[in-house]
Structure 1
Amino acid sequence: MALFVGRHLNKIDKKGRTSVPKPFRASFEDQSFRGMYAYPSFKFPAIAACGEEFMILLSDSLTAETDFFSDDQDDLAAVILESATQLSFDGEGRVILPQDLLDHAGITDEALFVGRGREFFIWEPGAYETHSKQAFNRAREAKRTLKLKVTGDNV
Structure 2
Amino acid sequence: MGLFLSTYVNKVDKKGRVSVPSSFRGVLGGQTELIVFRSLQANAIDACSVDYMDRLSEALDNPNMPDDMRDLIETTVFGGSVRLALDPEGRIVLPENFLAFAGITEGAAFVGRRHTFQIWDPDALSAHEAASRDRSRAQNISLSTILARTNSVLAAGSNGGGAQ
Fold match by TM threshold 0.5: yes
| Aligned residue number for residue 52 of structure 2 | 54
CA RMSD of aligned residues (A): 1.6
| Aligned residue number for residue 147 of structure 2 | 147
Give TM-score, length-normalised by structure 2.
Answer: 0.83
1:44-123 equivalent positions in 2, closer than 5 A: 44-64=42-62, 65-67=64-66, 70-123=67-120
Q: Which runs of 5+ in 2 are unaligned?
A: 152-164
State the Cα distance separating 1:29 from its structure 2 match: 2.4
* Maintained 8 Å contact 1:2/1:51: no
Cα offsets for 1:73-94 (capped at 9, x unmatched): 1111111111111110101110
Which amino acid is 2:5 matched to? Answer: V
Instruction: Give the number of the structure whose residues are more often helix, by fraction.
Output: 2
In the alignment, the residues of structure 2 paired with residue 63 and residue 13 of structure 1 have an alpha-carbon distance, to the nearest angstrom, of: 40
Secondary structure, aligned partner of 1:147: helix
Count residues with an aligned counterpart: 146
In the alignment, the residues of structure 2 paired with residue 126 and residue 62 of structure 1 have an alpha-carbon distance, to the nearest angstrom, of: 34
Q: Which runs of 5+ in 1 are unaligned?
A: 151-155
| Aligned residue number for residue 155 of structure 2 | none
Secondary structure, aligned partner of 2:111: strand
| Identity in percent | 36
Secondary structure, aligned partner of 1:24: helix
Query: Does 125-134 or 140-149 show the bigger shift?
Result: 140-149
| Aligned residue number for residue 154 of structure 2 | none
Q: Does 1:132 align with 2:159?
A: no
State the Cα distance separating 1:30 from its structure 2 match: 4.4
Give TM-score, length-normalised by structure 1.
Answer: 0.88
Q: After the TM superposition, which parts of structure 1 deviate over 3 Å for at least 4 consecutive aligned residues?
A: none
